[in-house]
Amino acid sequence: MSPRPVSPLEDDRSAKRSKIKTSPPPPLPTVMIPEKVAEIVPDGDTILVLSVRSDAAATSIGLRVSSHALSLASSVFKGEFAKLEASRSQSQEETDIPDLVLTLPCDDMPAMLLLCNILQLQNDKLPARILPSLLLRLGALAGKYECVMAAGRATSQWFDSLYSAEEPGNIWDIVEAAYLWDEAIFFARFTSIWVRRQSLTSKSMAPATTLETQKLAWVLAERLSVVQVLIRKEIDKLVETCALTFSEDATHYIDYAPGLSPTASETKSGRPPTPCIVDSEGAKEYLGALRNARIWPSTCWTKSKEGQAIDTKVGELMEKIKLFKEPPYDDTNRCDGCAYVKIQFTEEPEHVQQAYGKRLWGLCLDCYKAGGINPGECRYQHSK
Ligand SMILES: [Zn+2]
Ligand SMILES: [Zn+2]
């Protein structure tokens, strides 16, 4: 085989490579320590210089930290300090500086400050509440610095305060944050809240802000579709109980066994037999009550009483079903041919209400990570 021709460009590159190999190590860049250094840990051995890349004026902020604490919590910080130590030993001049100076590019100063405080166990400096967007960015940063485990404990109070807040803010931000922070309990809770806040009738997909959460947005949208179908099926079951009483199969006559349909000439009185209407009258009451509660038919979900277009959310319908009260109906005149529709109708809403209380409307983090149903024990308890 003939040798491959070498392009002038490649030749130039290989020349550069050999030059790099033979030349002495480049001098360390001059480190500018900012005038103001915030003391995260007053007796820390390191000055972390965070340079804001997005800032046109290229400002930087100094933080006094402990390299030991940061190295213990984060393998990325550990690696950075190891590189710094190695370069310091190569340069005699640098050893005169008592502090280690580590310069890091930083696009998100509030998140970085918070992360440093968490990793240095400065709990008194942590705010009681933070916005969902900051919790999310902090999660992304913790992932980048490989310290999700070490920093995660500090975030529980923030998830908790968002969960107990009347209006926690952007729910999808919190879902993404819970995923990045590996917070199984809050992940289940907030994915459920997300589902409950979506439309009952139309599809919806959250906009993923990180590469890692793109698949999650898709899986959660799928979950919403499943929930929408489930709700329709459960309401169908309520209605089916009633609809059966109007069917031919359910027609029966007073004083005649079920299935008997005598003609007028076959009756003792010579008149047509009297149909039993105990069930069908009850069914009318129940269907009317479902309609009054705007639970059924599904056209109630998209049109208000006044005829205006509305978009009922999953959670709104759940609330209506939870509050639904069976109308009073007296079926003491029922006969052997009756299908006991009152009893069935009483039981069905109770079943649905109980199922709603237990159901995981959103996603389980352990099951999601397992790609289906987690064979082991999930951190969030749910039926599988
Ligand atoms: Zn009857
Ligand atoms: Zn699970």
Q: What distance in angstroms lies between residue 323's CA and the mean position of ligand 2's atoms?
A: 29
Q: Which residues contact 250 (CB under 8 A, 6 or more apart)?
A: 244, 279, 280, 339
Question: Is 249 inside a domain boundary?
Answer: yes
Residue found under tokens 């310091």: 88
Q: What is the pLDDT of residue 97?
A: 58
Neighbours of 176 (CB within 10 A): 29
The ligand that comes nearest to the alpha carbon of residue 364 is: 2
Question: Is 30 inside a domain boundary?
Answer: no
Residue 50 has pLDDT above 70, yes or no: yes
Question: Please, where are the H alpha helices in 92-244?
Answer: 109-119, 132-144, 148-164, 171-180, 184-196, 214-244
Same domain assignment for residues 340 and 234: yes
Burial of 207 (0-12, 13-18, 19+ CB in 10 A): exposed
pLDDT digits (tens, 9 = 90+) for 138-154: 999 999 999 999 999 99
The ligand that comes nearest to the alpha carbon of residue 336 is: 1
Same domain assignment for residues 338 and 248: yes
Domain boundary among 169, 194, 210: 169
Q: What is the pLDDT of residue 372?
A: 93
Q: Which of 114, 91, 111, 115 is nearest to 101 (CA)?
A: 91
Residue found under tokens 């370069």: 87
DSSP classification of residue 371: T
Question: Is 313 inside a domain boundary?
Answer: yes
Domain boundary among 136, 169, 202: 169
Calculate mean pLDDT across residues 157-167: 97
Report CA-CA distances (Å) from 100 to 84, 87, 96, 114, 217: 8, 11, 10, 21, 42
Q: Which of 26-30, 44-48, 199-203, 258-262 has the highest mean pLDDT?
A: 199-203
Q: What distance in angstroms lies between residue 363's CA and the mean position of ligand 2's atoms?
A: 8
Letter for the amino acid at 56?
A
Q: What distance in angstroms lies between residue 251's CA and the mean position of ligand 1's atoms?
A: 8
Residue 196 has pLDDT above 80, yes or no: yes
The ligand that comes nearest to the alpha carbon of residue 275 is: 1
Q: What distance in angstroms lies between residue 248's CA and the mean position of ligand 1's atoms?
A: 13
Report CA-CA distances (Å) from 15 to 11, 19, 20, 358: 6, 6, 9, 69
CATH of the domain at 141: 3.30.710.10
In angstroms, how far apart are the furthest CA atoms of the chain? 121
Q: What is the pLDDT of residue 259?
A: 84
Q: What distance in angstroms lies between residue 383's CA and the mean position of ligand 2's atoms?
A: 8
Protein residues near ligand 2, an ion, with CB under 5 A: 364, 366-367, 374, 378
Question: How much of the chain, in percent, has pLDDT values that exceed 70?
Answer: 88
Q: Which of 184, 165, 170, 163 is nearest to 137 (CA)?
A: 170
Q: What does the CA dihedral 293, 295, 297, 301 come to, rounded to 10 degrees?
A: 100
Confidence of residue 98 (pLDDT cuts 50, 70, 90): low
Please spell the DSSP secondary structure of 226-242, one letter per residue: HHHHHHHHHHHHHHHHH
CA–CA distance, 380 with 215 (Å, rounded to integer): 21
The domain of 140 spans 37-169
Residue 34 has pLDDT above 70, yes or no: yes
> What backbone torsions phi and psi does residue 272 show, to the nearest 5 degrees?
-60, 150
CA–CA distance, 101 with 32 (Å, rounded to integer): 9
Question: Is 126 inside a domain boundary?
Answer: yes
Total of domains in the chain: 2
Q: What distance in angstroms lies between residue 364's CA and the mean position of ligand 2's atoms?
A: 5
Q: Which of 170, 155, 172 is nearest to 119 (CA)?
A: 155
Q: Which of 129, 95, 133, 111 is nearest to 61 (CA)?
A: 111
Same domain assignment for residues 121 and 240: no
- Residue 38, helix vs strand vs coil: strand
Q: Return the beta strands (E) in 19-117 as ranges.
A: 37-39, 46-52, 60-65, 100-106
Same domain assignment for residues 48 and 164: yes
Question: Is 139 inside a domain boundary?
Answer: yes
Same domain assignment for residues 58 and 134: yes
Confidence of residue 99 (pLDDT cuts 50, 70, 90): confident
Q: What distance in angstroms lies between residue 328's CA and the mean position of ligand 1's atoms?
A: 18
Q: What distance in angstroms lies between residue 348's CA and the mean position of ligand 2's atoms?
A: 27
Same domain assignment for residues 156 and 257: no
Q: What mean pLDDT, rounded, does the chain reach? A: 88
Domain boundary among 146, 169, 192: 169
Question: Is 221 inside a domain boundary?
Answer: no
Q: What distance in angstroms lies between residue 188's CA and the mean position of ligand 2's atoms?
A: 9
Same domain assignment for residues 159 and 232: no
Lowest mean pLDDT among 29-33, 112-116, 201-205, 315-319: 29-33
